[in-house]
Amino acid sequence: MKYLIVNADDFGASRGINRGVIDAHQQGILTSASLLVTAPWAQDAASLGRAAVELSVGLHADLKRQDQTDSEGVRNELREQFIRFQAFIGQPPTHLDSHHNIHRDPELLPLFLELAQEYKVPLREHSSVHYYSNFYGQWDGQTHLEHISSERLEHILQNEIGPGVTELSCHPGYIDPDFLSAYSSEREAELAALCSPRVRQVVEEHGIELISYQELGKLQMNPSPGTIVGEASVA
């Protein structure tokens, strides 16, 4: 069996991103999102997330660069963001990841693992879920809209999603004139691809079941015959 979690990063970063996440969920294949609780539009995102009952919402932790060398400070900041998340959403996050994947830093990773272990939530790249990050439209300062087109997403679904559970990360959104980001027009291109009827058709044709992070635990407790699903615990 092939199970796919389509997860949007940066939920809360701007009003346009929030709208894009919800549209990608309601009109497209998006199943989960990761909330930036420190961002200006975090409470707006949380309100939208609470209303979208089938949307799984996790914590997209963000750390100021100048604070990343203070281990105890990082530990406290992560816990504070976790607590703020619960206050915004009304329940713990369904998963844990980080802005720009800063949890990959060898000095920060143990602190993220500690938090994930304590609250028993899957941490990106440290659970049974395979992380797919190549649906992205910019590198070396250059925009590559062809890499986030509906045709490219169809190719990914047809050829690069294997058995078990995969998270495909994405960054949908609408352009906001008052939100400055190096990744801007790319967000609208991603949104269009995620909402493409042909993409939805390819999902069905290739036997891919769309799930959210909040469904992951249920799937692992009651796997279908032949399902390849490991434990959700972090390692």
Tens of pLDDT, residues 34-87: 999 999 999 999 999 999 999 999 999 999 865 677 899 999 999 999 999 999
Question: Which has more confidence, 233 or 12?
Answer: 12
Q: DSSP labels for 67-79?
A: GTT-HHHHHHHHH
Question: Which tokens belong to 13?
Answer: 């970063």
Helix, strand, coil percentages in the chain from 3-state DSSP, rounded to 5 = 45, 15, 40
Instruction: Tell me which residue of 38, 37, 30, 28 sits closest to 56, measured CA to CA.
Output: 30
User: Rounded to two decimals, what is the model's pTM?
Assistant: 0.91
pLDDT at residue 220 in the model: 65
Which class in CATH covers the domain with range 2-221? alpha beta
pLDDT-derived band at 190 (thresholds 50, 70, 90) equals very high
pLDDT at residue 66 in the model: 54
pLDDT-derived band at 198 (thresholds 50, 70, 90) equals very high
Helices (H), the chain: 15-27, 42-51, 71-89, 109-119, 150-159, 185-194, 197-205, 213-221
pLDDT-derived band at 218 (thresholds 50, 70, 90) equals confident
pLDDT at residue 89 in the model: 97
Tens of pLDDT, residues 84-98: 999 999 999 999 999
Rounded to whole angstroms, the Cα distance separating 76 from 74 reads 5
